[in-house]
Amino acid sequence: MRLLQPDPTDALLGLRAMKTVASAGGTMSPVRRTLLDAARRVILRVDADIDALAPITPAEFAAGFTSPELREQFTSGMLVMALSDGVPPREMVGEVAAFAKAIGVSNPALTDLWLLAERHMTIFKIDFLRRSQIADIMKNQLEQKGPLGLAKAVLTMRGVMEEPALAARYRTWKDLPEGTLGRSLVEFYKKNGFSLPGERKGFPEAGLYHDLCHVLGGYDTDPEGEVQVAAFSAGFKKERPLFIMLFAVLVFSTGVNMRPSKEDFTTVGVLGKPGMAERMFAAIERGSYVNQDLSDKWDYWAVAALPLDEVRRRLNIVAAG
Among residues 227, 166, 233, the alpha carbon closest in space to that of 196 is found at 166
Task: Tell whether 196 is covered by a domain.
Answer: yes
Task: Tell whether 3 is covered by a domain.
Answer: no
Give pLDDT, residue 260. 72
First-residue to last-residue Cα distance in the chain: 18
Which of 105, 129, 153 is where one domain is finished? 129
Say yes or no: 251 and 281 in one domain.
Answer: yes
Task: Tell whether 185 is covered by a domain.
Answer: yes
Distance of CA 191 to the CA centre of its chain: 23
Q: What is the full DSSP assignment across 151-212?
A: HHHHHHHTTS---HHHHHHHHGGGGSPTTBHHHHHHHHHHHHTPPPTTSTTPPPGGGTHHHH
Contact 182, 208 (CB under 8 A): no
Contact 186, 300 (CB under 8 A): no
Which of 100, 129, 158 is where one domain is finished? 129
Say yes or no: 306 and 249 in one domain.
Answer: yes
Task: Tell whether 1 is covered by a domain.
Answer: no
Whole-number Å distance between alpha carbons of 236 and 12: 28
Give 255-297 pLDDT, tens digit per residue. 999 887 666 789 999 999 999 999 999 999 999 999 999 999 9
Task: Tell whether 75 is covered by a domain.
Answer: yes
Give 307-320 pLDDT, tens digit per residue. 999 999 999 999 98
Among residues 249, 245, 217, 237, the alpha carbon closest in space to that of 288 is found at 237
Task: Tell whether 58 is covered by a domain.
Answer: yes
Say yes or no: 283 and 183 in one domain.
Answer: yes
Say yes or no: 237 and 195 in one domain.
Answer: yes
Say yes or no: 34 and 75 in one domain.
Answer: yes
| 75 Cβ neighbours under 8 A, 6+ residues apart | 96, 99, 100, 103, 105, 107, 110
Say yes or no: 118 and 194 in one domain.
Answer: no
Give pLDDT, residue 262. 63
| Overall domain count for the chain | 2
| 7 Cβ neighbours under 8 A, 6+ residues apart | 66, 67
For the chain, residues with pLDDT lower than 50 are none
Contact 271, 251 (CB under 8 A): no
Say yes or no: 142 and 217 in one domain.
Answer: yes
Task: Supply the CATH number for residue 119's domain.
Answer: 1.10.3680
Say yes or no: 123 and 160 in one domain.
Answer: no
Which residues on neighbouring strands pair with residue 180, listed in sequence order?
Answer: 307
Give pLDDT, residue 178. 96
Say yes or no: 284 and 137 in one domain.
Answer: yes
Which of 87, 105, 129 is where one domain is finished? 129
* Backbone dihedral angles phi then psi of residue 84, each to the nearest 5 degrees: -75, -15
Say yes or no: 235 and 281 in one domain.
Answer: yes
Task: Tell whether 106 is covered by a domain.
Answer: yes
Say yes or no: 43 and 183 in one domain.
Answer: no
Domain ranges, residue 263: 133-315
Say yes or no: 148 and 125 in one domain.
Answer: no
| 169 Cβ neighbours under 8 A, 6+ residues apart | 198
Contact 83, 30 (CB under 8 A): no
Distance of CA 137 to the CA centre of its chain: 15
Task: Tell whether 142 is covered by a domain.
Answer: yes
